[in-house]
C-alpha cells in the first residue's frame, strides 16, 4: 500500500509539472516563443552600432535589420531583394556592382559614397558562403542612436523626389476636402491661381478655386472646363477626379490641342458639307453596314428620291429598289444578281473602280461611279451626262454627214490640218490615187502623202510646192497646177487654204472635167431611191 501511494503521488507531481509548463507556454506571446530574426535583439549586432545590415546567401536574402527592410521597400529597383538593394546602392556608389562581383576574390570591401545629407560607408564581407553588407553613416547625429538613420534618410530622399516631381509637373493637381475647399495644390495650380488674381490680391486660405465646384463633384472622368486669362486667353482642360479618404484628388489635363483639333475638324466638315451641297454630281456615302450616312441636294434633284426617305438612313438595297420603282436605273435582265454585284463592288474594285453608264427609259443618261474605302465605306456618285452624250452623238452625226457629202463629190478631195497631218478624204480620192490612209497612233503627214503622189505621177515640181504650201503657217492664197499620172491621165490640182490653218487639196482628171456624171431627172432619182 505504501508503494502504491508513493507511485500515485509521483504521477500527480509529474502531471502537475507538465500542466504548469503548458500554462506558462500558453501565456507567452508569439513573439516571445522564438526570435523571428537574428537582429531582433538590437544589442547583439546591427542597429545598436548604427549599421544597417543585410545577410545574403548568393542573391537570396537570409535576414536584415528592420531599417534594411525599410530601405528595400523604398528602393526604386524591381524584383527580388538583391536587385532592389543594388538599385538603391547604385544611386550612391558608382562602381558598387563591379566591387561586389569581386567580393569572393577579395573577401572584404569597403566603399565610400555621397548622399544629399553627407557620407555613406559600405562594408561587405564574405564568410562561409554568407555575404554580409553593412551600411553606416559616419557623421550620424548622436540623437539618432537606437534608430536607423539610413532608413530615415532613404524615406526622406523619396519624399523629396516626390515633392520635386509634383513641383515640376505641368498638370494642375489639387485636393479638395469633403466641403469642396481646396486644401492642397501643386506648383502649376498655384501659378495658375496667382495669374488669375486681380487688384494686387494675394493667395489666402483656403486656396482659390479655379474650376466650378459642380464640375468637380464625385468621380469626374473627362469633363471639359475652360479658364479665361487676360494674358493667355482661354485655356481648356479635361478634369479627372479620384476619391481618396473622404476627399477628392483632382487633375486638370491640358486640352487646348484637342479643342483646336475638334474645332478644325468641325470647320472642315462644314466646308465639306457646303462643297457637297454645291456639287452638280449626286453623292451618297454608305458605311460598312451599307447604311446611308451622307447625301447632297444634287442626289435629290437627279433621282427624285424624297428627302424624308433618305433622312431615315436606308440601306443601299433600299435605295436601289426606290430608284427602280421610279425608273431611274436601267432594267437589267437579272436584277438580283446585278444588285448583288453593286453591293459587293468593293471586292471587285481590287483591280479597278466600279463605273457604269445608265441609259434610262426617259432618254436621260447617268454616269455612276462607286469608290470603296479602306474602312469598308462606299461612296456612290451619280452624274447626269445626258447633254454630253447628246453632243457626242450630234458630233458623230455631223462627221458622218460631212463624210457622206464629200464622198458624193466627183472631185477627189483630201484635207490636211494646220500641222500638215492628213485629216480626211473622199471616195474619189481613194479611187484616183489608190490611197486610203488608216487611222493609227502615228497619222500620216503631208510629207508621206506627197511622196505617194510623186510615186503615182510623172516627175514634177508641183508636189514640192504643195508640200511647202500645206506646211506654211500664215496668209495664203489659192493656187492651181497640173500633174501627169503614170497611166497618162492629166490631173488638175487645186490647193485652197481653210479656216484654222487647214488646207484642202482637190484633184480632177481631164475626162471627169469634160464629161462629168450623167444627169438624172427628179422622177428618175425618186424611182432609183
- CATH code that applies to domain 404-515: 3.30.450.20
Q: Render pLDDT for 466-481 as a digit per residue (tens, 0 to 9).
A: 999 999 888 899 999 9
What percentage of residues in the chain have a pLDDT greater than 70? 75
- As given in the structure block, the three cell numbers for residue 411 are 472631185
Strands (DSSP E) found in 100-220: 108-115, 118-127, 130-136, 172-176, 182-185
The reported pLDDT for the residue numbered 58 is 87
Residues 6 or more apart whose CB falls under 8 angstroms from that of 190 comprise 203, 207
The reported pLDDT for the residue numbered 116 is 65
The reported pLDDT for the residue numbered 479 is 93
Residues 6 or more apart whose CB falls under 8 angstroms from that of 102 comprise 109
Q: What is the pTM assigned to this prediction?
A: 0.45
The yes-or-no verdict on residue 434 having pLDDT over 50 is yes
Q: Render pLDDT for 385-428 as a digit per residue (tens, 0 to 9).
A: 988 888 888 988 888 888 888 888 889 999 999 989 998 899 99
Q: Does domain 279-384 have CATH number 2.40.40.20?
A: no
The yes-or-no verdict on residue 525 having pLDDT over 50 is no
Domain ranges of the chain: 47-155, 169-258, 279-384, 404-515
Top-confidence range, 349-353, 371-375, 379-383: 379-383
d(CA 447, CA 470): 10
More confident site: 205 or 242:
242
What percentage of residues in the chain have a pLDDT greater than 90? 15
State the pLDDT confidence band at 373, using cuts at 50, 70 and 90: confident
- Among 139-143, 341-345, 435-439, whose mean pLDDT is lowest? 139-143
Rounded mean pLDDT of 57-67? 88
State the pLDDT confidence band at 528, using cuts at 50, 70 and 90: very low
Decide the pairing of beta strands 292-295 and 221-229: unpaired
The reported pLDDT for the residue numbered 503 is 94
- 47 three-state secondary structure: helix
The yes-or-no verdict on residue 522 having pLDDT over 50 is no
The reported pLDDT for the residue numbered 200 is 63
33 DSSP β-pair partners = none
Top-confidence range, 64-73, 212-221, 340-349, 484-493: 484-493
- As given in the structure block, the three cell numbers for residue 384 are 447626269
Cell 431615315 appears where? 312
The reported pLDDT for the residue numbered 505 is 94
- Among 104-108, 175-179, 234-238, 265-269, whose mean pLDDT is lowest? 175-179
- 196 three-state secondary structure: helix
| CATH level 2 (architecture), domain 169-258 | 2-Layer Sandwich (3.30)
The reported pLDDT for the residue numbered 412 is 92
More confident site: 215 or 107:
107
State the pLDDT confidence band at 231, using cuts at 50, 70 and 90: low
Domains 47-155 and 279-384 share a fold: yes
The reported pLDDT for the residue numbered 23 is 57
The reported pLDDT for the residue numbered 43 is 43
Residues 6 or more apart whose CB falls under 8 angstroms from that of 173 comprise 166, 185, 186, 188, 189, 249, 250, 251, 252
d(CA 144, CA 458): 131
Specify burial of residue 68 (Cβ count, 10 A radius: 0-12, 13-18, 19+).
Answer: buried
- As given in the structure block, the three cell numbers for residue 285 are 456615302
More confident site: 260 or 203:
260
d(CA 173, CA 241): 10
Average pLDDT, the chain: 79
Superfamily of domain 47-155: PAS domain (3.30.450.20)
The reported pLDDT for the residue numbered 33 is 44
The reported pLDDT for the residue numbered 250 is 86
The yes-or-no verdict on residue 509 having pLDDT over 80 is yes
Amino acid at each position: 500500500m505504501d508503494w502504491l501511494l508513493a507511485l500515485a503521488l509521483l504521477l500527480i507531481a509529474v502531471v502537475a509539472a507538465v500542466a504548469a509548463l503548458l500554462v506558462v507556454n500558453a501565456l507567452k506571446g508569439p513573439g516571445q516563443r522564438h526570435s523571428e530574426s537574428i537582429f531582433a535583439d538590437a544589442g547583439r549586432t546591427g542597429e545598436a552600432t548604427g549599421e544597417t545590415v543585410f545577410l545574403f546567401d548568393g542573391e537570396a536574402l537570409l535576414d536584415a535589420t528592420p531599417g534594411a527592410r525599410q530601405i528595400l521597400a523604398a528602393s526604386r529597383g524591381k524584383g527580388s531583394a538583391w536587385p532592389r538593394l543594388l538599385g538603391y546602392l547604385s544611386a550612391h556608389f558608382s562602381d558598387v556592382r563591379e566591387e561586389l562581383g569581386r567580393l569572393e576574390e577579395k573577401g572584404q570591401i569597403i566603399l565610400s559614397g555621397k548622399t544629399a545629407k553627407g557620407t555613406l560607408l559600405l562594408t561587405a564581407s564574405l564568410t562561409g558562403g554568407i555575404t554580409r553588407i553593412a551600411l553606416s553613416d559616419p557623421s550620424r547625429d548622436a540623437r539618432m542612436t537606437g534608430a536607423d538613420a539610413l532608413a530615415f534618410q532613404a524615406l526622406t530622399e523619396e519624399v523629396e523626389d516626390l515633392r520635386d516631381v509634383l513641383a515640376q509637373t505641368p498638370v494642375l493637381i489639387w485636393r479638395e476636402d469633403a466641403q469642396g475647399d481646396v486644401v492642397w495644390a501643386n506648383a502649376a495650380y498655384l501659378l495658375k491661381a496667382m495669374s488669375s488674381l486681380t487688384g494686387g490680391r494675394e493667395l489666402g486660405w483656403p486656396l482659390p478655386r479655379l474650376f466650378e465646384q459642380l464640375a468637380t463633384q464625385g468621380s469626374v472622368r473627362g469633363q471639359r472646363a475652360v479658364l479665361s486669362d487676360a494674358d493667355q486667353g482661354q485655356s481648356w482642360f479635361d478634369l479627372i477626379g479620384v476619391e481618396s479618404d473622404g476627399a477628392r484628388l483632382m487633375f486638370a489635363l491640358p486640352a487646348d490641342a484637342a479643342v483646336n483639333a475638334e474645332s478644325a475638324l468641325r470647320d472642315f466638315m462644314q466646308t465639306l458639307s457646303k462643297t457637297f451641297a454645291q456639287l452638280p454630281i449626286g453623292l451618297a456615302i454608305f458605311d460598312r453596314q451599307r447604311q446611308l450616312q451622307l447625301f447632297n441636294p444634287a442626289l435629290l434633284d437627279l433621282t427624285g428620291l424624297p428627302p424624308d426617305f433618305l433622312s431615315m438612313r436606308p440601306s443601299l438595297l433600299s435605295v436601289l429598289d426606290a430608284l427602280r420603282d421610279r425608273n431611274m436605273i436601267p432594267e437589267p435582265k437579272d436584277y438580283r444578281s446585278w444588285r448583288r454585284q453593286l453591293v459587293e463592288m468593293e471586292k471587285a474594285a481590287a483591280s479597278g473602280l466600279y463605273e457604269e453608264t445608265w441609259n434610262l427609259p426617259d432618254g436621260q443618261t447617268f454616269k455612276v461611279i462607286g469608290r470603296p474605302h479602306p474602312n469598308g465605306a462606299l461612296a456612290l456618285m451619280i452624274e447626269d451626262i445626258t447633254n454630253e452624250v447628246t453632243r457626242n452623238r450630234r458630233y458623230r452625226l455631223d462627221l458622218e454627214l460631212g463624210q457622206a457629202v464629200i464622198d458624193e463629190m466627183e472631185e477627189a478631195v483630201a484635207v490636211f490640218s494646220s500641222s500638215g497631218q492628213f485629216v480626211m478624204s473622199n471616195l474619189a480620192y481613194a479611187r484616183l490615187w489608190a490611197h486610203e490612209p488608216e487611222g493609227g497612233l502615228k497619222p500620216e503627214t503631208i510629207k508621206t502623202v506627197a511622196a505617194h503622189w510623186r510615186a503615182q505621177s510623172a516627175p514634177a515640181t508641183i508636189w514640192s510646192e504643195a508640200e511647202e504650201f500645206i506646211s506654211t503657217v500664215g496668209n495664203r492664197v489659192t493656187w492651181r497646177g497640173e500633174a501627169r499620172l503614170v497611166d497618162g491621165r492629166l490631173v488638175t490640182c487645186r490647193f485652197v487654204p481653210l479656216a484654222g490653218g487647214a488646207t484642202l487639196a482637190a484633184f480632177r482628171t481631164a475626162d471627169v472635167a469634160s464629161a462629168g456624171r450623167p444627169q438624172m431627172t427628179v422622177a428618175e432619182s425618186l424611182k432609183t431611191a
